[in-house]
């Protein structure tokens, strides 16, 4: 029995990391998924993990969220938070929930998000209802019955959580025609991390990111898209029009640099990369071209699994 307790204590250290009382509690971000709907073997789609002490906030659950979450040292999160319901932000939510059952988590998942979150979650759980029944029939009382349950709070912009030093503020962004679409500012231990969600460059972001330690912003390099755009206009006008639609509701890198400068953020992290570049130094240098002339702080082009501390 004692040996078993040690095994569980060790597993607990792996899952949550040892926390020393003498040190500041950990507060950092891991860009779990940094890609876009177009498949890129090197990138999952949107999901960002914030670690705040012994709690975790998982913002969006895009493709490969689970693999990247496990690689970051976690099996599940205290809170799941949605920015909006484009498929690249939600697609692996069901798999994330099933893994809670395998991991033995027997409490409902706390979920926060804008209007529509409850029905999204209900729909996912309905799709997975047969699977849940198979597992109950197969594992009987060993299957944690609360694993596939959700405790959802639909929120409007403002402070949506203020609990034991962890504060989450939701704000509207502009991802027209997708409404609602929101971003979040997470405060903990005197520091703050802002996650933009999907949006055009908006003055609201400058306001909400004011003085933030880290701004994680979606990013599009319009100059890199210019050649493919011109080519498509010649060869495939339908796809060229769709590319224009896409470009009209994301933020250009130089606009993001201006936001980071005006908001005086300490570090800028670019994610949700359009185009979905290879995760190498040359491509990243090209992606941020011109930004340093606008913003003098550190600019980081995210890769899947990258940990950034304030």
Q: Does 250 bind Zn ion (CB under 5 A)?
A: no
Site residues for Zn ion, 187-206, by CB under 5 A, read 198
Q: How far is the CB of 44 from Zn ion (least distance, A)?
A: 12
Closest among 223, 209, 302 to 259, alpha carbons compared: 209
Closest among 257, 277, 269 to 308, alpha carbons compared: 269
Q: Which residues are registered as beta bridge partners of 153?
A: 112
Q: Which residues are registered as beta bridge partners of 217?
A: 270
Identify which of residues 198 and 304 has a Cβ nearer to Zn ion in the complex.
198
Identify which of residues 125 and 246 has a Cβ nearer to Zn ion in the complex.
246
Distance CA 98, CA 27 (A): 27
Identify which of residues 63 and 86 has a Cβ nearer to Zn ion in the complex.
86
Which candidate in 24, 54, 60, 88 is catalytic? 88
Q: Does 88 bind Zn ion (CB under 5 A)?
A: yes
Q: How far is the CB of 175 from Zn ion (least distance, A)?
A: 5
Site residues for Zn ion, 280-299, by CB under 5 A, read none
Q: How far is the CB of 231 from Zn ion (least distance, A)?
A: 24
Distance CA 156, CA 55 (A): 23
Q: Which stretch binds Zn ion (CB under 5 A): 87-95, 153-161, 228-236, 290-298?
A: 87-95
- Using CB under 5 A as the criterion, what x/- string covers residues 41-80 for binding Zn ion? ----------------------------------------
Q: How far is the CB of 293 from Zn ion (least distance, A)?
A: 27
Q: In this chain, which of 86, 135, 200, 267 binds Zn ion, going by CB under 5 A?
A: 86
Identify which of residues 182 and 291 has a Cβ nearer to Zn ion in the complex.
182
Identify which of residues 218 and 284 has a Cβ nearer to Zn ion in the complex.
218
Give the binding-site size for Zn ion (rule: CB under 5 A).
3
Q: Catalytic residue at 198?
A: no
Identify which of residues 166 and 202 has a Cβ nearer to Zn ion in the complex.
202
Q: Which stretch binds Zn ion (CB under 5 A): 86-94, 101-109, 222-230, 283-291?
A: 86-94
Strands 182-188 and 166-172 turn out to be antiparallel
Q: What is the contact surface with Zn ion in residues (CB under 5 A)?
A: 86, 88, 198
Active site residues: 88
């Amino acid at each position: 029995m004692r040996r078993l307790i040690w095994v569980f204590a060790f597993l607990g250290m792996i899952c949550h990391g040892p926390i020393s009382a003498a040190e500041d509690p950990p507060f950092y971000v891991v860009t779990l998924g940094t890609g876009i709907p177009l498949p890129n073997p090197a990138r999952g789609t949107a999901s960002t993990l914030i670690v705040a002490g012994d709690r975790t906030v998982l913002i969006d659950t895009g493709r490969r969220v689970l693999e990247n979450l496990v690689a970051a040292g976690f099996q599940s999160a205290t809170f799941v938070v949605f920015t909006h319901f484009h498929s690249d932000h939600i697609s692996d939510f069901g798999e994330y929930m099933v893994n809670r059952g395998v991991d033995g988590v027997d409490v409902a998942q706390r979920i926060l998000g804008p209007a529509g979150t409850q029905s999204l979650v209900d729909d996912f759980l309905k799709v997975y209802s047969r699977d849940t029944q198979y597992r109950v029939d197969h594992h009987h009382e060993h299957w944690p019955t609360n694993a596939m349950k959700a405790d959802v709070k639909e929120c409007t912009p403002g402070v949506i959580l203020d609990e034991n030093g962890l504060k989450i503020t939701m704000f509207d962004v502009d991802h027209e025609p997708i409404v609602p679409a929101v971003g979040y500012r997470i405060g903990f231990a005197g520091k703050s991390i802002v996650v933009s969600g999907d949006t055009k460059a908006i003055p609201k972001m400058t306001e909400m990111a004011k003085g933030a330690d880290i701004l994680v912003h979606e990013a599009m390099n319009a100059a890199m898209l210019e050649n493919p755009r011109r080519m498509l206009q010649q060869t495939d006008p339908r796809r060229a029009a769709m590319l224009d639609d896409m470009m009209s509701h994301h933020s250009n890198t130089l606009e993001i640099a201006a936001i980071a400068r005006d908001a005086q953020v300490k570090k800028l992290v670019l994610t949700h990369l359009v185009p979905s570049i290879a995760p190498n130094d040359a491509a990243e240098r090209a992606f941020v071209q011109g930004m340093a002339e606008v913003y003098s702080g550190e600019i980081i082009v995210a890769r899947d699994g990258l940990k950034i501390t304030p």
